[in-house]
């Protein structure tokens, strides 16, 4: 039965979080009503809430764009289906969409950003049914865990596609132990990378990545780019692989130090893929790209058509979710935001409705 109202946690005009009820929006011919199982807390949510990054829909609005749940209304062919809602929902018709790059559709919609006042920190959400990822057999994996597929896992996968990762490749992930970086590391290894070097400031989480895709780890704290290069060179000599030829570098932190280190590591016929967002400007001599015959690539979200491939990697074990996520009741949203903002979380938190 479709409720007439949605329970939700809204970001107010005063920049607070308030529990409220909003009217159920009109359900169009292609729309579905999803009862939310879980919504992941992303750094993007924190950027909107704490850092003044503007949203298309001005507050009050409900944040949250990593959503999984069950269809309870709307399109009859989807009722009862467990689904993941893409974080970036394209129009599917424009020139960019037709070119295969629908993740960067200029008419895209994103829950908690540009879909009116509706986002995933709610009891229900109304979305178009066309681009949903249907979960047909998740085994023992909780449906709420699959919410992070919508961004934290599919974004690295799209980055890997943009880099053209193939079996035998050599990969460096900067920010490898973070909410997106941990999945970037696993994705690279899951797609066949022969050597994956994980770089992160969090020593405890960094060591954990040795069991989840990383072959070698580097903590850059107190180290210069030259020092980091020396450590990588030592690993490469031990493994008898080139230290400065054809590495694919993923910068996931979005921080200026992370970006500067990534640029310093970029070398002959290498590729740098910019995954993390940051507002600071970083300088680089573009002639080095010419001299190295190297590339710098930006990436944004993931086209919905790739979601089933990513879901399969999560369900067959190539990408592990459970060690990297934690579920909490949605009533703890304010506390969770504060902890995330201050870097106090050890796992990516998924909030489950408890209205």
Are residues 139 and 17 located together in one domain of the fold? yes
Res 115 pLDDT > 90: no
Q: Looking at 274, 298, 322, which one is the last position of a domain? A: 298
Q: Give the residue numbers spanning the domain of 233.
A: 154-298
Three-state DSSP state, 18: strand
- 263 with 220, same domain: the answer is yes
- Using an 8 Å Cβ cutoff, are 249 and 270 in contact? yes
pLDDT of residue 78: 98
Residue with tokens 């507050």: 59
Same domain, 95 and 130: yes
What are the φ and ψ backbone dihedral angles of 83, each rounded to 5 degrees? Answer: -140, 160
| Distant-in-sequence, close-in-space partners of 236: CB < 8 Å, separation ≥ 6 | 242, 243
- Residue 279 pLDDT class (50, 70, 90 cuts): confident
**What is the band of 88 on the pLDDT scale with cuts at 50, 70, 90?**
very high
Answer yes or no: do 78 and 122 share one domain. yes
Record the pTM.
0.95
| Cβ atoms of 35 and 124 closer than 8 Å | yes
Same domain, 141 and 244: no
CATH code at 238? Answer: 3.40.50.720
Q: Are 315 and 279 in a shared domain?
A: no
pLDDT-derived band at 53 (thresholds 50, 70, 90) equals: confident
| Segment 27-36, tens digit of pLDDT | 999 999 999 9
Same domain? 75 vs 203: no
Q: Are residues 115 and 204 in the same domain?
A: no
pLDDT at 274 over 90: yes
Helix (H/G/I), strand (E/B), else coil: 60: coil
What total of structural domains would you count in the chain?
Answer: 2
**Closest of 75, 73, 272 to residue 163, by C-alpha:** 272
What are the residue ranges of helices labelled H in 154-245? Answer: 154-163, 181-190, 203-208, 225-239
Cis peptide leading into 60, omega within 30 of 0?
A: yes
If asked whether residues 138 and 216 sit together in one domain, one would say no
Is 233 found in the same domain as 100? no
């Amino acid at each position: 039965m479709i409720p007439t109202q949605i329970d939700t946690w809204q970001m107010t005009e005063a920049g607070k979080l308030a529990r409220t009820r909003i009217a159920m929006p009109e359900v169009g011919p292609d729309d579905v009503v999803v009862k939310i199982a879980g919504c992941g807390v992303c750094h993007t949510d924190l950027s909107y809430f704490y850092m003044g990054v503007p949203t298309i829909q001005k507050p009050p609005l409900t944040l949250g764009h990593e959503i999984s749940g069950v269809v309870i209304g709307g399109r009859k062919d989807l009722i009862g289906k467990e689904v993941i809602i893409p974080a970036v929902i394209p129009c599917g018709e424009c020139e960019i969409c037709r070119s295969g790059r629908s993740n960067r559709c200029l008419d895209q919609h994103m829950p908690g950003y540009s879909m009116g006042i509706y986002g995933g920190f709610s009891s229900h959400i109304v979305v178009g049914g066309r681009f949903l990822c249907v979960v047909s057999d998740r085994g023992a994996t909780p449906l709420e865990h699959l919410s992070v597929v919508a961004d934290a896992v599919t974004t690295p996968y799209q980055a890997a596609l943009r880099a053209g990762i193939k079996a035998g490749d050599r990969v460096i992930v900067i920010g490898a132990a973070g909410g997106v970086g941990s999945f970037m590391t696993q994705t690279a290894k899951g797609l066949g990378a022969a050597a994956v070097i994980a770089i992160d400031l969090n020593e405890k989480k960094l060591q954990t990545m040795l069991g989840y895709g990383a072959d070698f780890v580097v903590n850059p704290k107190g180290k210069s780019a030259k020092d980091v290069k020396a450590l990588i060179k030592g690993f490469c000599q031990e493994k008898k692989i080139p230290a400065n030829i054809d590495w694919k570098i993923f910068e996931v932190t979005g921080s200026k130090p992370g970006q500067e280190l990534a640029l310093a590591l970029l070398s002959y016929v290498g590729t740098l893929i910019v995954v993390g967002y940051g507002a600071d400007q970083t300088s680089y001599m573009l002639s080095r790209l010419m001299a190295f015959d190297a590339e710098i690539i930006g990436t944004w979200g993931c086209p919905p058509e790739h979601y089933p491939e990513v879901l399969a990697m999560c369900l067959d074990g190539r990408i592990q979710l459970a060690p990297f996520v934690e579920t909490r009741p949605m009533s703890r949203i304010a506390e969770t935001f504060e902890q995330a903002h201050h870097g106090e979380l050890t796992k990516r938190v998924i909030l489950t409705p408890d209205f």
